[in-house]
Amino acid sequence: MVQKLRRNQFLFEELVKREFKKKYKGTVLGMIWSLLSPLLTLLVMRVIFGGFFGSSVDNYTTYLFCGNLVFSYFNDSCSLGMLSLRNNADIFTKIKVPKFLFLLAKNVQTLINFAMTLAVFLLFCILDGVAITWKFSLLLYPIICLLLLNIGMGLILSALFVFFRDMQYLWTVFAQLLMYASAIFYTTDGFSHRLQAALHLNPVYLCITYFRQIVLSGTVPGLWFHLMMLLYGLLVLGIGCLIYKKYNHKFLYYL
């Protein structure tokens, strides 16, 4: 895969540029929407849920921002990645190119958008009175795990979408359920131990919790926490690669 990426480096770079141009084409604010969109979502969630949960959580807006930041990155990467094969069928059905390039281009686009929002998040932490320490550098770890997870989910979803068009609607429902199961706007302190353990089956929840422990508590999660996050990312990525390898030659017949 790495060798194919190097051989097609120019094409890959052009695909990334094209994705940015397509996303902001015809807009007045352009890339500024990458910053405004999560901030507006944060504002809406703060207004709606602040009265219910805000009084029991210190720095609740930052707490909310952590959850929204991580989940938005995951959801955007998966949603856009799912359409990567379908939307580029007119290219790879005529020219022999590695199909995973289109998915990786989407992931690079969403990663750059995430990095821009992350910069705003760090500035917001300072304004909210959160102390910036060296431990913030450890946030790179959940970001890497998320990247692996996003690429793997994109490989799985894009392959399934080729064969089953209903996946687009099923994913919308699943993403909604996953959002509510990721403790974005509520705390899990009052949950039973069994329910809290069940939430650890959700890799997005683990990444959100990692962010919150570093940012709000100033503590570093344990070794098992790191291993679980990495395991989820590698497992999903491995499944996605196997699906692509098995069905790669069949994609052309369904597009």
Tell me: the pLDDT tens digits for 160-183?
Answer: 998 888 888 999 999 999 999 998
Residue 112: per-residue pLDDT: 87
State the pTM of this model. Answer: 0.88
Q: Is residue 156 part of a domain?
A: yes
> Which residue is associated with the tokens 């910069």?
119
User: How far is the C-alpha of 79 from the C-alpha of 167, rounded, in Å?
Assistant: 10
Residue 30: per-residue pLDDT: 58
Confidence of residue 225 (pLDDT cuts 50, 70, 90): very high
Q: Is residue 7 part of a domain?
A: no
User: How far is the C-alpha of 51 from the C-alpha of 20, rounded, in Å?
Assistant: 37
Confidence of residue 54 (pLDDT cuts 50, 70, 90): low
Residue 55: per-residue pLDDT: 62
CB atoms within 10 A of CB 243: 17
Confidence of residue 248 (pLDDT cuts 50, 70, 90): confident
Query: Which of the two residues, 247 and 146, has the higher pLDDT score?
Result: 146
Residue 191: per-residue pLDDT: 82
To the nearest whole percent, how much of the chain has pLDDT over 70? 79
Q: Is residue 6 part of a domain?
A: no
Domain span including residue 187: 13-254
Query: Which of the two residues, 44 and 223, has the higher pLDDT score?
Result: 223
Residue 5: per-residue pLDDT: 62
Q: Is residue 49 part of a domain?
A: yes
Q: Is residue 4 part of a domain?
A: no
Tally of domains within the chain: 1
Residue 28: per-residue pLDDT: 53
Confidence of residue 239 (pLDDT cuts 50, 70, 90): very high
When mean pLDDT is compared over 22-26, 85-89, 139-143, the highest value belongs to 139-143
b vs e for 13-26, b when ≥16 Cβ sit within 10 Å of the residue's Cβ? eebbeebbeebeee
Q: Is residue 1 part of a domain?
A: no
Q: Is residue 8 part of a domain?
A: no
When mean pLDDT is compared over 34-38, 130-134, 251-255, the highest value belongs to 130-134
Structure tokens at 211: 């962010």
Q: Is residue 33 part of a domain?
A: yes
